[in-house]
Structure formats: structure tokens, C-alpha cells
């Protein structure tokens, strides 16, 4: 009887975790679009940023891991800016006042678009756990979908989306004459 109960418990746990894993979007699939409000009440679609690398963060102001993910992205903001990345930060079940207070004094350096979810993004991305981090390429395809990522991992995934440096471009920088500052 104990073995049957233990097997049943294991099967139930396996089903729970399988359901969560299947909630993530398949790498290579088109990113679901949504249209929700920014902090000024303007409607913004995720597809407005098609053609750019998008880091889509779904979370809240009160979740410790969400705050940590934001801090990691802040830390690598200058690098991401140079790589043409836009951060679309979707706040779930939050209001304009709490999000504005949370963002006050933070300098994201890279373009950052805070949005207030009305349920559309939550449903489109089947958010069950936060923080949810989705990286979307220039063709609006999913590159990564999962929970919190370390700053270094985000950098690696974004760097892999950069166009390769051509021999002609690298030759022109190698053959340039260094300039001396005026004296």
C-alpha cells in the first residue's frame, strides 16, 4: 500500500512539473503579440519593436526575484544598449503609481518600456511563475523563454543574435591610423 501511495505521489508531482514546463513557448516559434498600456496610458504592442532584439520581462515590483532580475539587467544595460536591445518590462497586476515608484531613480541606459498588463500578456505567455524572461530576436521569434537568467547568460544569448563581423569591416578597423589627441 505504501509503494502504491508513493508511486501515485511521484506521478502527481511529475504531472505538475510537466504542466509548468509546457507553459514555456517553443524556441523558434513566433512571439505572441499583445497591446497594453504604458505608464502614460498609451497603447503599446510588443510587435512595435519587431526588428530589434527584445528582452521581455514579466513580473511585479514586490517579487524579490523580479527585483533581482531587473538589477541584473540594469547592470548590463550599457552593453545591451550597444547591441540594440530594448527591454519591455510588463508589470502584472500592478498600477501606475507602484510601478513609477519602483522605477524612480533607476537608470536602465538601454531603451526600457514599462507596461501595465491588463491580462493580455499574462494570458499570451501563460505566466504561472515569475520572473519570466523571454528573449525575442529581430524576426520576432522566441530565442529563450524561462525564469530568471544571470546577467552573463543574457549577454551570451543576445551576443549570439548579433550579425557576424565581416572580414571587410574588421579589415577597415585594423588598417585605420590611430589618432593622437591635439596638444
Could you tell me the three cell numbers for 88? 519591455
pLDDT in tens, 97-108: 999 999 998 888
User: Which residue carries 520576432 as its cell?
Assistant: 140
- The per-residue pLDDT for 23 is 80
- The per-residue pLDDT for 132 is 97
The stretch 10-25 carries a mean pLDDT of 50
Q: Do 87 and 110 contact (CB within 8 A), yes or no? A: yes
- The per-residue pLDDT for 167 is 62
pLDDT in tens, 51-78: 999 999 999 999 999 999 999 999 999 9
**Residues composing the chain:** 183
Q: Do 73 and 80 contact (CB within 8 A), yes or no? A: yes
> pTM of this prediction?
0.78
Cis, bond preceding 131 (omega within 30 deg of 0)? yes
User: Which residue carries 515590483 as its cell?
Assistant: 61
Domains, the chain, in order of start with CATH, read 26-162 (3.40.30.10)
- The per-residue pLDDT for 155 is 94
- The per-residue pLDDT for 107 is 86
Does pLDDT of 109 surpass 50? Answer: yes
CA dihedral 61, 66, 71, 72 (to 10 degrees): -160
User: Which residue carries 502504491 as its cell?
Assistant: 4
φ, ψ (nearest 5 deg) of residue 175? -90, 0
Going by pLDDT thresholds of 50, 70 and 90, the confidence category of residue 13 is very low
Could you tell me the three cell numbers for 137? 530576436
137-165 burial code (b ≥16 CB/10 A, e <16): beebebbbbeebbebeebbebbeebeeee
- The per-residue pLDDT for 79 is 94
pLDDT in tens, 112-171: 999 999 999 999 999 999 999 999 999 999 999 999 999 999 999 999 998 876 665 555
Amino acid at each position: 500500500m505504501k509503494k502504491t501511495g508513493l508511486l501515485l505521489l511521484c506521478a502527481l508531482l511529475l504531472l505538475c512539473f510537466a504542466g509548468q514546463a509546457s507553459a514555456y513557448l517553443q524556441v523558434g516559434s513566433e512571439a505572441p503579440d499583445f497591446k497594453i498600456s504604458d505608464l502614460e496610458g498609451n497603447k503599446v504592442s510588443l510587435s512595435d519593436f519587431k526588428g530589434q532584439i527584445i528582452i521581455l520581462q514579466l513580473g511585479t515590483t514586490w517579487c524579490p526575484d523580479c527585483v533581482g532580475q531587473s538589477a541584473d539587467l540594469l547592470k548590463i544595460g550599457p552593453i545591451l544598449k550597444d547591441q540594440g536591445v530594448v527591454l519591455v518590462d510588463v508589470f502584472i497586476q500592478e498600477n501606475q503609481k507602484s510601478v513609477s515608484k519602483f522605477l524612480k531613480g533607476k537608470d536602465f541606459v538601454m531603451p526600457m518600456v514599462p507596461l501595465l498588463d491588463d491580462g493580455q500578456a499574462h494570458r499570451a505567455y501563460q505566466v504561472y511563475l515569475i520572473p519570466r524572461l523571454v528573449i525575442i530576436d529581430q524576426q520576432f521569434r522566441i530565442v529563450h523563454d524561462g525564469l530568471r537568467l544571470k546577467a552573463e547568460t543574457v549577454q551570451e544569448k543576445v551576443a549570439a543574435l548579433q550579425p557576424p563581423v565581416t572580414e571587410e569591416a574588421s579589415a577597415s578597423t585594423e588598417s585605420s591610423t590611430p589618432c593622437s589627441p591635439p596638444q
